[in-house]
Amino acid sequence: MTATDHYRIATVATLTGLPAATIRMWERRYAAVAPLRSSGGSRLYRDNDIERLRLLGELVRHGHAIGTIARLGDDELRQRLNRAGLTPPSTAAARRHRVLLIGDGINARAASAFAAQGSVELRATAPTLEAALQTSGPVDFVIVEAPTLLPDLVAGLQQLREQLTPRLLLVEYAFSTRATLRQLQRPDILCLRGPCEGEALARICLFAATAPTGTPSKGDLLQQALSQPTPPPRYTSAELLALDTAPSALRCECPRQLAELIGRLSAFERYSAECRNASPRDARLHEMLRLASGHARGMIEDALQLLLEAEDAIASGR
């Protein structure tokens, strides 16, 4: 492709390993990239946009808050990666995630979907769990078709996980028991009732590939949030009131509940800022509460925006 080629957001998500919702949020809230727009209003990304999103994604995966780096130039982003001893990601040579598919049915449904993903390499296929145990070489994701997921299969799945050490073992089943599913409750095992579309399985693997391998502590997450300024309010009181009374295209009251939650968080944010302080320590505690509630409000506003976009799609039949 040439430098003048444009990419839609689904392709950009595949090329960068970032969920499309994350890309939209980074653009909308932090102006991290500025894609072009088609005549129909769809986002169109250029090669330099993809390179920038790769740099931002790599830094975020290693602990940088997006709000502190979103407006830095590309050269500064590369310098930060270099100072951390990290290799800047290459647009031309993306990391390819290796997948093993087990089961004739899932091979037929999903092999073409994985082959079409530029960042995924279909490492091997196997008809049975026993055949898969003979597979050599590392794999990142293993997807097993298990129409009847019963206790006698658990030991084989655990052996497969220990032998191949994939980042994620995904088990697609039709029938199982709660007791069997409880035996497979692990952070690196996901059991889904099938059959699943091949494209959906591919997207799950790409999403898992971008997730951090470690879980930050609650203190780390809070300190990261408190180091950033709170985002400005997205909705006015009148807009929240309108959402509280507007009909929803969804079969639930989530938009109304979120609007109410945003209003309460905004009120507490103001309350923390105005609360009377008896000492410098009190002032620091109230400032922490103001920042925490402001960031919580911003996250819920982002969630509400995505929900409203989904409602628009439902209402228009897209």
Each as own residue / partner, the long-range contacts of residues 239-247 (CB below 8 Å, 24 or more positions apart, any chain) are 243/304
Note the pLDDT tens digit of each residue in 201-218.
877 777 776 555 444 444
Domain at 181, CATH number: 3.40.50.2300
Looking at the fold, whether 75 and 125 belong to one and the same domain comes out as no
Confidence (pTM) = 0.43
Looking at the fold, whether 147 and 72 belong to one and the same domain comes out as no
**pLDDT score, position 196:** 82
Q: Considering the domain boundaries, does residue 1 fall inside one?
A: no
Q: Are 213 and 187 in contact (CB under 8 A)?
A: no
**pLDDT score, position 2:** 39
Domain boundary residue among 184, 210, 236? Answer: 210
Contacts of 176 (CB under 8 A, 6+ apart): 146, 148, 149, 150, 191
Q: Considering the domain boundaries, does residue 73 fall inside one?
A: yes
Which portions of the chain are predicted below pLDDT 70? 1-5, 87-96, 115-121, 136-137, 209-229, 244, 246-252, 310-318
- The torsion region of residue 5 among left (phi > 0), alpha (psi -120 to 50) and beta comes to beta
Contacts of 311 (CB under 8 A, 6+ apart): 248, 249, 250, 255
CA distance linking residue 120 with residue 14, whole number of Å: 9
Q: Considering the domain boundaries, does residue 252 fall inside one?
A: yes
**pLDDT score, position 95:** 53
Looking at the fold, whether 253 and 292 belong to one and the same domain comes out as yes
Task: Please report the DSSP string for 72-127 in residue order.
Answer: S-HHHHHHHHHHTT-PPP-SSSPPPEEEEEESHHHHHHHHHHHHT-TTEEEEEEES
Task: Please report the DSSP string for 275-315 in residue order.
Answer: S--SSHHHHHHHHHHHHHHHHHHHHHHHHHHHHHHHHHHHH
**pLDDT score, position 211:** 55
**pLDDT score, position 221:** 53
Q: Are 92 and 133 in contact (CB under 8 A)?
A: no
Q: Considering the domain boundaries, does residue 53 fall inside one?
A: yes
**Domain extent for 115:** 97-210
CA distance linking residue 182 with residue 154, whole number of Å: 10
**pLDDT score, position 8:** 83
Looking at the fold, whether 35 and 103 belong to one and the same domain comes out as no
Domain boundary residue among 166, 187, 210? Answer: 210
Residue 14 has which token pair?
């595949």
Q: Considering the domain boundaries, does residue 3 fall inside one?
A: no
CA distance linking residue 33 with residue 52, whole number of Å: 8
Looking at the fold, whether 206 and 227 belong to one and the same domain comes out as no
Q: Considering the domain boundaries, does residue 89 fall inside one?
A: no
Q: Considering the domain boundaries, does residue 90 fall inside one?
A: no
The DSSP bridge pattern shows strands 168-176 and 97-102 to be unpaired
**pLDDT score, position 175:** 92
Report the domain count for the chain: 3
**pLDDT score, position 83:** 82
